[in-house]
């Protein structure tokens, strides 16, 4: 599986934001294979890479003898590990079809509370590096409506957790503004024509009839 064979598109959002509907819109574009959630499996992959990288960096210039507790750490290759795990993620998780040229997934589990200070920025940098020719699409929705929807309503401090998560999204948008796109659920569900800016950003043709067909279908639950 060669990573460079594809362009990548990631939908980053939170639960009950309409992200599955947006996933459907993207999959209506020719050559797109945007999968659904995968349980945030790239996060432990990133953490495995970071653990090995940091361990190796602590021993740079310090060859370890066979008697060392860190014997051989200087010979490890965290960058190749990350590349191999990324290729395996594409091969075994995304599993793009034969006609796919743009692949990716949507994830709602990049919630602020999952990350330590500064970790989200490092994680997004990891995605940017490991998935060349990628873009980030941030899907938002009125947070008061989200916080009172389905299982969010039973979670303590739901609104504040969502605010913190959107702040992470906005920070990433500013950092990668040339390859990022912000979209609001309320805009494209009330006015499908407003979605034209999305394919424009992606360099794709806008087919209003096809988009309306997607929006009319029930997505998620």
Structural domain contains residue 81: no
* Number of H-type helices and E-type strands within the chain: 9, 5
The count of structural domains within the chain is: 1
62/34 Cα distance (integer angstroms): 44
Structural domain contains residue 71: no
Lowest mean pLDDT among 2-16, 72-86, 138-152: 2-16
82/163 Cα distance (integer angstroms): 31
At residue 80, the 3 state secondary structure works out as: helix
- 151 pLDDT band (50/70/90 cuts)? confident
How much of the chain, in percent, has pLDDT values that exceed 70?
A: 99
Structural domain contains residue 44: no
Structural domain contains residue 130: yes
Tokens of 11: 């939908």
Tokens of 34: 């945007």
**β-sheet bridge partners, residue 105:** 10, 35
CA-closest candidate to residue 201, choices 135, 121, 149: 135
Structural domain contains residue 50: no
168/216 Cα distance (integer angstroms): 31
State the residue range of the domain holding 142. Answer: 3-39+86-216
- 221 pLDDT band (50/70/90 cuts)? low
Structural domain contains residue 60: no
- pTM value is 0.93
What DSSP line would sit under 143-179, residue for residue? HHHHHTSGGGGGSTTHHHHHHHHHHHHHHHHHHTGGG
CATH number of the domain at 125, please: 3.40.50.300
Residue 197: pLDDT above 90? yes
162/74 Cα distance (integer angstroms): 41
Structural domain contains residue 68: no
Residue 1: pLDDT above 60? no
Mean pLDDT for the stretch of residues 187-213? 96
At residue 78, the 3 state secondary structure works out as: helix
Mean pLDDT for the stretch of residues 135-148? 97
* Average pLDDT value for the chain: 95
Mean pLDDT for the stretch of residues 5-18? 96
Structural domain contains residue 103: yes
Q: What is the 3-state secondary structure (H, E, C) of 1-66?
A: CCHHHCEEEEEECCCCCCHHHHHHHHHCCCCEEEECCCCCCHHHHHHHHHHHHHHHHCCCCCCCCC
């Amino acid at each position: 599986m060669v990573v460079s064979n594809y362009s990548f598109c990631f939908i980053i959002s939170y639960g009950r934001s309409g992200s599955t509907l947006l996933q459907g819109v993207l999959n209506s574009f020719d050559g797109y294979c945007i999968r659904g959630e995968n349980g945030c499996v790239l996060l432990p992959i990133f953490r495995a890479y970071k653990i090995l990288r940091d361990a190796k960096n602590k021993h740079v210039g310090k060859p370890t003898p066979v008697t060392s507790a860190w014997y051989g750490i200087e010979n490890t290759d965290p960058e190749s590990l990350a590349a191999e795990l990324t290729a395996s993620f594409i091969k075994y998780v995304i599993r793009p079809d034969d006609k796919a040229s743009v692949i990716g997934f949507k994830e709602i589990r990049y919630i602020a509370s999952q990350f330590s200070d500064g970790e989200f920025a490092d994680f997004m940098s990891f995605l940017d590096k490991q998935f060349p020719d990628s873009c980030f699409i941030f899907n938002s929705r009125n947070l008061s409506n989200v916080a009172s929807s389905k299982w969010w309503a039973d979670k303590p401090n739901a609104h504040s957790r969502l605010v913190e998560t959107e702040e992470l999204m906005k920070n990433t948008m500013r950092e990668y503004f040339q390859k990022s796109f912000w979209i609001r659920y309320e805009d494209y569900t009330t006015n499908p024509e407003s979605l034209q800016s999305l394919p424009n950003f992606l360099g794709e043709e806008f087919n209003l009839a096809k988009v309306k067909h997607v929006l009319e279908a029930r997505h998620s639950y």
